[in-house]
Structure 1
Amino acid sequence: MNDIERALSEISDIRSQLAASTRFRGYAPEVVAMIGLISLAIMLAQLAWPETLATSTGQQVVIWGAVLAASGITVAAEAISRSRRQHGGMAGAMMRGAFLIQLPTTVIGVVAAIIISSHAPEALWIVPGLWHMLIGVVAFASYTTLPRTIIWPAVWFLLSGAAVMWLAGQDGQLTPLMMGGPLVVGHLSIAWILYREGVPTA
């Protein structure tokens, strides 16, 4: 490695270190709030028409899995755009940091759901609680780059996920409230924290 390559490598390392300790401003409060409100609407629709929208545990897992997937794509697309505006030359490093935080838990959630639905569909009631807890893990892991009060939604997702597992485990059944409740409260709380702590809106 010549001097120029070494210097470029050191600059890249410094940029990564700065990104790891810099407030990430890519998450839009309004987008996170929208996810919470959409979750609320779906939960209320399932409560109103359970014979159509909540006929089985499998159906509920599919519906809420689709909600989480669409939400993740929406947040990621907005985060890329906002990061370029907010972080300039550090946008790439900031996005890589956020991506590396979320990738492991996303893979775990998807793989676990696929394996359980394929080989142990009677245990699908485990999946939503697991998803909630994994979201909590992401929030905890983001503690250094998001407002410090993100710790409270993180705790909420972990505890509510555990509660959903415990309640669903009583009879192996899920309810719309178990599925949507933690997502509604958690996402609206995160949106409020991002807004209140001064993360600029688009």
Structure 2
Amino acid sequence: MSDLDKALADIVAIRTQLARGNAFCGFGPSALAATGLLALGTALAQHVWLDDPTGQPLAFLGGWIAAAVVSAILIGAEMWARTRREHAGLADTMLMNAVEQFLPAGAAGALLALVLVRVSPENLWMLPGLWQVLVSLGLFASVRSLPKGVALPGAWYMVAGLAVLMLGSADHALSPWTMGLPFAVGQLMMAAILYRAKEESDV
């Protein structure tokens, strides 16, 4: 390795270390609040138009996958804009660190859904609870780089996910509300914590 290559590698390592040591300011309260309202809207729509979610699991999952994609676009767009504004020269590194922290949980959720649909559709009732547990793990994985208080929504998602699994074990039924309510509460809680952290930093 030439001296130039070594120097460039050292610069990258230093930038990565700096990014890991700073609080990530890319998550915005407005996008997170919007995703909480989207979760409520999706639950309400499925409650009205989906007569039997358990008998139509693909329609149920399709609605929530669509909601997740829209949520990811909203959060991603705000993350990109805020990271550019808040972190300047470290923007790309900070953004990549944030994505890497959540990526394992997101990938696990997608793969779980795929496996259950293909090989064990009778166990799809477990997905809402498992998804909430995975969101909890994603939040706990990033707690060091997010404002203090983020562990509270992480704990909420863990408790809610386990409760949903316990409730669903009785009849193996899918319900829009076991998805909509936990995600709405969790996302709105996150939005409130980030909004408060932003006000404190402005002061």
TM-score by length of 1: 0.92
Deviation string 1:56-83 (CA, Å, 9 cap, x unpaired) is 3332222112211221122112212221
Q: For residues 7 and 132 of structure 1, what CA distance do their matches in structure 2 show?
A: 43
Aligned to 1:186: 186
Q: Give CA-to-partner distance per residue, 1:3-34, whole Å, 9 cap, x none.
A: 22222211111110111121111111101000
Bigger Cα displacement from structure 2, 3-12 vs 178-187: 3-12
- In structure 2, the residue matched to 1:177 is 177
Contact residue 135 and residue 154 of structure 2 kept, 8 A: yes
Q: Name the amino acid aligned to 1:127.
A: L
Name whichever of 77-86 and 22-31 sits farther off: 77-86
AA aligned to 2:102 is Q
Percentage of identical aligned residues? 36
- How many residues align structurally? 201
Structure 2 match to 1:5: 5
- List runs of 5+ in structure 1 lacking aligned partners: none
Superposed CA deviations along residues 42-101 of structure 1, whole A, max 9, x for unmatched, are: 222333444287863332222112211221122112212221111111011101101111
Partner of 2:166: 166
Tell me the secondary structure at the aligned position of residue 173 of structure 1. Answer: coil
Matches within 5 A, 1:133-152: 133-152=133-152
Aligned equivalents of 1:22 and 1:45: distance in 2? 40
AA matched with 2:140: F
TM alignment of 1:1-202, pairs within 5 A:
1-51=1-51, 56-198=56-198
Letter in 1 for 2:125: W
**Structure 2 alignment gaps of length 5 or more:** none
Are the aligned partners of 2:54 and 2:173 in contact in 1 as well (CA < 8 Å)? Answer: no
What RMSD over aligned residues (CA atoms) do the two structures have, in Å? 2.0
Distance 1:69 1:54, change over 3 A: farther
1:109-140 CA distances to partner (integer Å, 9 max, x unpaired)?
11110110111111101111111111111111
What is the TM-score when the length of structure 2 is the normalising length? 0.92
